[in-house]
Structure 1
């Protein structure tokens, strides 16, 4: 009798276990797809900050940087109370670090900074 009960429990629980397992896998796949979509829609990333200070020197740094690195886009941003000179946005830290290695030869104080979805710190 005991063996029959165990056999019945076994046959009834296995199909439900298998169903919940595949349901969990589907949920995980859906979650991964949502994360991929979210990451592709946001503008987060990394840039290289070349200068942080007053406006006059920020403009000078932009002119000098553009002459030294014509293939890298650069911009000037005002965050009270200082001006920041930053490069284009890179999707990964690895990309930004590779460019930083080149820039550090001319700008030893340059550093990689993380940008949130609005493009600011």
Structure 2
């Protein structure tokens, strides 16, 4: 009697789950605003340009424009993999390197760059 009750309960549960599984099948239509892909592309570009998200950079130099130009040319000849730029922050021109996602990436690059530019340091620029 107990065995027969277990069999009935088990059969009922299996039938219930299979019915539940077939009841969940169906089709769905997703309507998406046509501006979403454009916005995603814009967000990706802003992230790459470090206007969005927390990024780290390395500063090689701060001073006059002529010396900044010399340093960035020397840097680009030695390390073409990391992007570099000259930024003007009154009253100095600064040579900034990289656009690192986290401090670990920046520190690894800094160890390599310090071999040639010992005054280099890692920092997190303020958002504009």
TM-score (normalizing by structure 2) = 0.58
Superposed CA offset, 1:14-61 (max 9, x none): xxxxxxxxxxxxxxxxxxxxxxxxxx8833211000111100000000
Deviation at 1:81, TM superposition (A): 0.3
Of residues 86, 91, 94, the one that matches 1:84 is 94
* Residue 57 of structure 2 is aligned to residue 52 of structure 1: no
What does residue 112 of structure 2 align with?
102
What does residue 85 of structure 2 align with?
75
* Residue 46 of structure 2 is aligned to residue 43 of structure 1: no
Q: Which runs of 5+ in 1 are unaligned?
A: 1-39
TM-score (normalizing by structure 1) = 0.61
Larger relative contact order (CA 8 Å, sep ≥ 6): 1
Q: Choose 1 or 2 for highest CA Rg.
A: 2
Give the helix-richer structure, 1 or 2. Answer: 1
Structure 1 residue matching 2:99: 3-state secondary structure: coil
Q: How many residues align?
A: 79
Q: For 1:93 and 1:57, how far apart are their aligned partners in 2?
A: 27
* Residue 71 of structure 2 is aligned to residue 61 of structure 1: yes
